[in-house]
Amino acid sequence: MKQQALIPTLERVVHGFCQLKGMGELTASKGLAIQFEQWEWEVGVGLYGFWRYASHKDDVELQDSLLAWYEGQIRKGLPAMQINTTAPMITLALLAGHSGRDDLRETVNAWADDLLANLPRTEEGGFQHVVKEQPNTGQLWDDTLFMTCLFLGTAGIVLKRKDLIDEAVYQFLLHTRYLSEPKSGLWYHGWTYVEKHHFAGVLWARGNAWITVAIPEFIDLMGDHLDAGVRRYLTQVVSRQVRSLCALQAENGMWHTVLDDPYSPQESSATAGIAYGMLRSVRLGLLDDSVIAPALRAAHAVWQRIDEDGIVLGASKGTMVGHDHQYYCDIAIAPVPYAQALTMLLLLELEQGQWLA
């Protein structure tokens, strides 16, 4: 890994993302460009990374590209609200706050109202992990926190609505209660209120990656709007999780699909997300410097798995909550858009944090 190769490598990964999404070849441009078309959660992760990069570099052209993308999507009509379709709303809320545009604020406000009023709830008021494929009745999933709560908290600040911030905080606390394993601090994939169990009881790597990413992002986005006690609590949650993750990291820097099973496949999307969250947390002062070396070892492992076309190799396909351990081991390995998106976030963090300088 070399600092001067970061942006060219990032652009190659973006190119690979567009190939996987059937968007054709990237057009020549002076720098990064928004080529995504579909409104999907993988795109939402990538767009959030672009916003972070554009803000860091004060890149007006890239900020305008983001704005133009959302304007086009709004003209076409936004999709129905559910967990995954909320992911792209994170960046729209940030753009609404940055631009001060009332029309964007109205769109953000309408989506937030729809989410609070109409998203099905579990017992205790949890966000049921509703996706387009199925309702997942009575289920909490760990990736819900990234997909919905980063948006709600950001929208609460932009719209000056404390009810949205309070709801986002509550979801973080409730999901931690039911999905964080007390002994290790690692997270289960899901919990069902209907049958009162954690399905296979598997500590799934990519699910844990969403937590390693979501907690520092939430703390940073909320800033002084987050109660000191909640900030302290969430910091300890991610600290405990990361200590256990470091103990389970393979010698080559990767993590296994089932974190505590060294015979399960190693998985790139989880490794990218965990490495990103660790470095981000160090930069925010949430974790100490002891995790830098494991995080950079993981980043190096992911970097080695980016092929000449920008495709991140070694990622597993979409994974529902499984009822047995073998289900997770048998998930096919294939190029997937979310591995591209999480690797984009990791490469952007390496650039922003000057971790290779």
- Per-residue HEC secondary structure of 160-198 comes to CCHHHHHHHHHHHHHHHHHHECCCCCCECCEEECCCCEC
- Which residues, at least 6 apart from 166, have a Cβ–Cβ distance to it below 8 Å? 156
- pLDDT values of the chain reduced to their tens digit, one per residue, 357 residues: 899 999 999 989 988 887 776 544 444 344 455 666 789 898 889 889 889 888 888 888 888 888 999 999 999 999 999 999 999 999 999 999 999 999 999 999 999 999 999 999 999 999 999 998 899 999 999 999 999 999 999 999 999 999 999 999 999 999 999 999 999 999 999 999 999 999 999 999 999 999 999 999 999 999 999 999 999 999 999 999 999 999 999 999 999 999 999 999 999 999 999 999 999 999 999 999 999 999 999 999 999 999 999 999 999 998 999 999 999 999 999 998 899 999 999 999 999 999 998
Domains present along the chain, CATH in parentheses: 3-352 (1.50.10.10)
Q: Using CA atoms, how far apart are residues 343 and 335, in angstroms rounded to an integer?
A: 12
Q: Which of 260, 256, 255, 310 is nearest to 278 (CA)?
A: 255
pTM of the model: 0.95
The reported pLDDT for the residue numbered 50 is 82
